[in-house]
Amino acid sequence: MTDFQRIILVHYHEIGLKGHNRASFETRLLKNLEALLAPFPVVTIHRISGRLCVFLREGTDWDTAVEASEVAGRVPGVARVSSGFKCERDLDEMARAAVLALSEAGEFSTFKVAARRNHTDFATGSMEMNQIIGGALCEACPDKGVRMKNPDVTVGVEVVQNASYVYARSVPGVGGLPVGSSGKVVCLLSSGIDSPVATWKLARRGAVCIGVHFSGRPQTSDASEYLVDDIARVLERTGCIARVYTVPFGDYQREIALTVPPELRVIMYRRLMFKVAEALAARERAGALVTGESLGQVASQTLDNIRATDDAVDLPVFRPLIGTDKLEIIREAERLGSYEISSQDAPDCCTLFMPRSPETHAKLPVVREAESVLPVERWVAELVEAAEVRDYACPAYKPKPRRDAGGAGQGGAEDTARA
């Protein structure tokens, strides 16, 4: 415990490049952090000098402060997180805080001081502060060296209008833009490895993500639905998913399998999925669809087949993993924390009624003709009506009241329909 108030300085990069609308991005990030750090002893969060400062309750211990900073670092829009202290604008106090901050920075051999004053009413300039505080650190850590270029630790000292902020431990964040600053998208979310990563990548670009999971139920068990819920809970930790629609798709796949040529089944499944996702996107006022497809990874992901599925909808379809190989996607899933969940076996619609030799180079006229015998519009309406909804904690999402068995829908992580 320390007599200094602990703080977490949240640095951002991309937001800082914005022009007149920069304040709206900062405000969105601040609100996201307020909500996601609610379990921690946060007093308030303020904007200061191109960053956000999280003030922790006096007496907060080191472990709690570290845990809070790690949560903050995983929030989209955060480039770097520094842990330190607030103290008076007094050189002796600043030096004492710097010694304490450096002692909590972990293992290091070299360091430097980077001091600056944001108000000239503080008499001591930056160079002199560097010398005075650096001298105190050398005296406290005689076995450590000073290195001006690429030190192991940089001790930051910032003098603002009414206080000073001193920090040393600094960890990288995920970067990007705050969720809620780039509109809304609907993500086709399976229990596999790829689509959760694709969803996270769009959230990291500031989009509010609405998931749509196509379950093989009632032709298969509902095991995939529970895995998708587990994946959504992982994404929820940093506000990266707002809602998931679960669509019981198995009977419609069976009807397709009985009607269309076997080699076109997969394309017909996906065209119907896209149409249902587009209808749900209209309900949510979302501007695009998102999939986890990677070019050439499976039969449905060739250029011709991608064109054949995109033809089913008017909305743009984003594929953030299109040029990424499987090993890269797995590494991303491991960092995200979804890989172990996605590695569990569960029957889902992706493997239901699969043909032995799926078409890899579909021709649009052939696809459209095969689809023309299906009651697609009726099916889309039925599937949208049958979709079951589950909400997750996303600070940037304000759900509208919805019609379902539970009558819920006013936010939070309330479960409906399949409770």
Q: Which segments are annotated as binding site for ATP?
A: 188-189, 213-214, 270, 292, 301
Tokens at 334, concatenated: 């491991």
Whether the Cβ atoms of residue 68 and residue 53 lie closer than 8 Å to each other: no
Instruction: List C-alpha distances in Å: 37 to 54, 68, 94.
Output: 9, 7, 27
| Binding site residue list | 188-189, 213-214, 270, 292, 301
User: Is residue 60 a contact partner of residue 41, using CB atoms and an 8 Å limit?
Assistant: yes
Sign of CA dihedral 170, 176, 177, 178: negative
User: Per the structure block, which two tokens stand in for 91?
Assistant: 């050189």
DSSP SS3 for 291 = coil
Distance CA 189, CA 154 (A): 42
Angle of helix 194-204 relative to helix 326-336, nearest 10 degrees? 70
Do 11 and 78 meet the contact criterion of CB atoms below 8 Å apart? yes
Quote the CA–CA distance of 366 and 357 in Å, as a whole number. Answer: 17
Scan for tokens 């068995």, then name that residue: 405
Taking the C-alpha atoms of residue 131 and residue 118, their distance in angstroms, rounded to an integer, is: 18
272 and 278 Cβ atoms separated by less than 8 Å: no
Order of all β-strands in the sheet with 243-248: 317-318, 289-290, 184-188, 208-215, 243-248, 388-391
Check if the beta carbon of residue 157 is closer than 8 Å to that of residue 164.
Answer: yes
CA distance 386 to 249: 10
Q: What spatial distance separates the first Cα and last Cα of the chain, rounded to whole Å?
A: 44
DSSP 3-state assignment of 243? strand
